[in-house]
């Protein structure tokens, strides 16, 4: 689609999950609405629409971003990854697989945002980024152990109204290969223990 010259609209190209999409958008259109309403990528959820719940979390150039607070025009030229783009073909992303194995959800509404956020959390942690729960923030201390407290703090921007936090924390720990987290149980484990 050719750009439409207008004081209120711009022609932009969004690079989403490796595909380029040419759109004419109102300058006030959020990235969230562009994804859901224009590109039919409805895996990204709208919860609060004001940056408080994390349901709309996507990756922009590998960093987690709440799509309801970013204008679509500001995302032009960036690499956007939504939940529809994290798997490799039929193979689930390790974070998706961990959420599935450990029941890291109930209704599932927050789950796409939780998974996108967790993917970035694991990268941020591996890169040595401290969190508010990190005791020793000196660069030479290296990444802190990815304890449940660290995971909860780093995932605190993603709310779950179903309260599936215990399994979410376990799933992030498993996906990160964290050895300090409590032993994660599979559904089968829990059934066997019941």
CA dihedral defined by 162, 60, 118, 122, rounded to 10 degrees? -170
- Which residues from 91-120 bind ligand FES, rule CB under 6 A? 105-111
- Within its chain, how far is the Cα of 93 from the centroid? 12
- Specify the 3-state DSSP secondary structure of 174: helix
Q: Which residue, 55 or 151, has its beta carbon nearer to ligand FES? A: 55
Q: Is 46 in the site for ligand FES (CB under 6 A)?
A: yes
Task: State which residue, 66 or 86, has the beta carbon closest to ligand FES.
Answer: 66
Looking at beta carbons only, is 52 or 186 nearer to ligand FES? 52
Taking residues 122 to 151 in sequence order and writing x for each that binds ligand FES by CB under 6 A, - otherwise, the string is ------------------------------
Walk across the sheet containing 57-60 and list its strands: 19-26, 9-16, 79-81, 57-60, 63-66
Closer Cβ to ligand FES, 73 or 116, answer by number: 116
Q: Least Å distance between CB 51 and ligand FES?
A: 5
- Size of site (CB under 6 A) for ligand FES: 23
Residue among 16, 25, 35, 56 that touches ligand FES (CB under 6 A): 56
| Residue 67 C-beta: closest distance to ligand FES, Å | 6
115 neighbors 93 (Cβ within 8 angstroms): yes
Surface-to-core class of residue 94, CB atoms within 10 Å of its CB (0-12 exposed, 13-18 middle, 19+ buried): middle
3 state DSSP class of 41: coil
Q: Which stretch binds ligand FES (CB under 6 A): 2-10, 17-25, 46-54, 124-132?
A: 46-54
Q: Calculate the alpha carbon distances from 67 to 5, 49, 124, 141, 162 in Å.
A: 25, 9, 19, 33, 22
Site pattern 3..42 for ligand FES (x: CB under 6 A): ----------------------------------------
Residue 106, both tokens? 């109930």
Residues that bind ligand FES (CB under 6 A): 46-49, 51-56, 66, 68, 105-111, 160-162, 164
């Amino acid at each position: 689609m050719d750009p439409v010259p207008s004081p209120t609209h711009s022609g932009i190209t969004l690079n989403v999950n490796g595909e380029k999409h040419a759109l004419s958008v109102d300058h006030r259109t959020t990235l969230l609405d562009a994804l859901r309403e224009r590109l039919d990528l409805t895996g990204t959820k709208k919860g609060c629409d004001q940056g408080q719940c994390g349901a709309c979390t996507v990756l922009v150039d590998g960093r987690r971003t709440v799509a309801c607070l970013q204008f679509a025009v500001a995302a032009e030229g960036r690499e956007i990854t939504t939940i529809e783009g994290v798997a490799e073909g039929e193979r689930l992303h390790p974070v998706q697989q961990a959420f599935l194995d450990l029941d890291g959800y109930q209704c599932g509404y927050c789950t796409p945002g939780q998974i996108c956020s967790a993917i970035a959390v694991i990268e941020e942690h591996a890169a040595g980024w401290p969190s508010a729960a990190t005791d020793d923030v000196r660069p030479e201390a290296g990444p802190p152990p990815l304890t449940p407290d660290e995971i909860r703090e780093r995932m605190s921007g993603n709310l779950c109204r179903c309260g599936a936090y215990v399994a979410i924390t376990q799933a992030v720990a498993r996906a990160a290969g964290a050895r300090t987290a409590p032993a994660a149980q599979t559904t089968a484990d829990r059934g066997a223990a019941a």
